[in-house]
């Protein structure tokens, strides 16, 4: 079943993001689709956790957004991005608000939503292999504590509490990325695979009494650059 889900996710990412890339080219024209300057659509998976807390486990969610490629020379490029869908958080944490008086067998999760703005510099080791790094700003858009447990009637429920005020609205990180170009982008059907780890620089929590965590996020995603085919 896990293999079927993974395969279905990969197919969905490919079809959706390639269609989005083609749509961008239709809207903005071929001026944004050259080897020196072009856009990409990125989709993949966030695997996030909050090390430093007394108790926590990793969570995961869909990662999605746009990338930009600005060529400097054959080795170097600027690659700023805008990622409006970047979930983080942790599972099985200690409660901020304790519902053990209402629920039994209760577990607590943090569900956080961010907008990521990485400002990366890319270095191409070979024509296909590249590495990237740079500063990143993370904007918190929503935060919830989710308490899952059983009522006295044995019914299972989720109690979702807004906890945005207990987290910092802006965080900073340094992503380190390794990427590989799987297919040629010149025909408008490029495909890159990227592995990225985000090193958090400041505490995610405003509530220091609860704990201190800079966060840990591993990202694996596909990038679909759109470059117009050269004129004949």
Residues 68, 79 contacting (CB under 8 angstroms): yes
Question: By three-state DSSP, how is residue 95 classified?
Answer: coil
- CA–CA gap between residue 198 and residue 218 (Å, rounded): 6
Does the domain at residues 2-225 carry the CATH identifier 2.30.30? no
Question: By three-state DSSP, how is residue 60 classified?
Answer: strand
- CA–CA gap between residue 50 and residue 198 (Å, rounded): 12
Least confident stretch, 17-26, 35-44, 129-138, 190-199: 17-26
Each domain of the chain, given as residue ranges in start order, spans 2-225
- CA–CA gap between residue 84 and residue 39 (Å, rounded): 15
Q: How many CA atoms lie within 13 A of 158 on its CB side?
A: 9
Chain segment 150-195, per-residue pLDDT in tens: 998 889 999 999 999 999 999 999 999 999 999 875 555 689 999 9
Structure confidence at residue 226 as a pLDDT band (50, 70, 90): confident
pTM given for the model: 0.84
Chain segment 60-114, per-residue pLDDT in tens: 999 999 999 999 999 999 999 999 999 999 999 999 999 999 999 999 999 999 9
């Amino acid at each position: 079943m896990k293999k079927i889900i993974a395969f279905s996710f990969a197919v969905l990412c490919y079809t959706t993001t390639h269609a989005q890339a083609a749509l961008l080219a239709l809207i903005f024209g071929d001026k944004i689709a050259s080897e020196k300057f072009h856009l990409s659509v990125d989709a993949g998976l966030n695997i996030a956790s909050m090390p430093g807390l007394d108790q926590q486990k990793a969570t995961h969610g869909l990662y999605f957004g746009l990338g930009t490629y600005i060529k400097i020379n054959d080795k170097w490029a600027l690659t700023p991005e805008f990622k409006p869908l970047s979930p983080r958080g942790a599972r099985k944490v200690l409660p901020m608000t304790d519902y053990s008086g209402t629920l039994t067998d209760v577990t607590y999760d943090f569900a956080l939503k961010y907008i990521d703005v990485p400002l990366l510099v890319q270095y191409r080791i070979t024509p296909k292999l590249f590495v990237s790094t740079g500063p990143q700003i993370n904007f918190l858009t929503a935060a919830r504590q989710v308490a899952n447990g059983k009522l006295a009637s044995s019914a299972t429920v989720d109690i979702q509490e807004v906890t945005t005020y207990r987290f910092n609205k802006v965080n900073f990180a340094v992503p380190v990325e390794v990427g590989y170009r799987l297919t040629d982008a010149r025909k408008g059907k490029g495909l890159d695979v990227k592995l990225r780890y985000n090193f958090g620089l400041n505490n995610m929590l405003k509530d220091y009494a609860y704990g201190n965590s800079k966060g840990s996020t591993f990202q694996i995603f596909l990038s679909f650059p759109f470059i117009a085919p050269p004129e004949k």
